[in-house]
Amino acid sequence: LMNILTGIFVETALQRGREDKDVCMINHLKDLFGVLDRNDSGTISWDELQSHLGNPKLITFFKDIDIDVSEARGLFHLLDRDGSGSIDADEFMSGALRLRGPAKALDLQLVMLELADQRRTFQYLVSAWGHPAERAPSDPSPSL
């Protein structure tokens, strides 16, 4: 019985520690977004991010998500989910929270970004040439 109670206590303490760490990370991200958004536009441009690469808060952020500062450009494009060339607060927060953990998470996110780019290319080709299954075998392929 004592082992069960000890196990419950330890599990509860670990859960509370994870929750506290999540709250701390969210507060850190909000603060960091405010620092990076130099012109108070509500978005972060690549130039704004690049100008802060030596900022201790940004360096801590990169360490927290296990990414080297040299990967900043790739991270920026990864967080810019809509491809607008800037990162709004929602993109920054949700993207940064997804990237916590080992570098494998970054790799997976990069693959997802590449897949989205490939999907857009495919949709463009289908709209320009029609779906391959809809073309008759005797139709010549369009020339590039």
CA atoms within 13 A on the CB side of 21: 11
What CA–CA distance (Å, rounded) separates 77 from 109? 11
> What are residue 86's DSSP bridge partners?
45
Mean pLDDT of 78-92: 90
- C-alpha separations of 67 from 56, 81, 106 in Å: 14, 18, 8
Report the predicted TM-score, pTM, of the whole model to 2 decimal places. Answer: 0.57
Convert the pLDDT of each residue in 102-121 to its tens digit.
656 667 778 888 899 899 99
What CA–CA distance (Å, rounded) separates 105 from 136? 43
If pLDDT is split at 50, 70 and 90, which confidence band does 84 have?
Answer: very high
Convert the pLDDT of each residue in 17-64 to its tens digit.
666 666 777 788 888 899 899 899 999 999 999 999 999 988 888 887
The answer to whether 50 and 61 have CB atoms below 8 angstroms apart is no
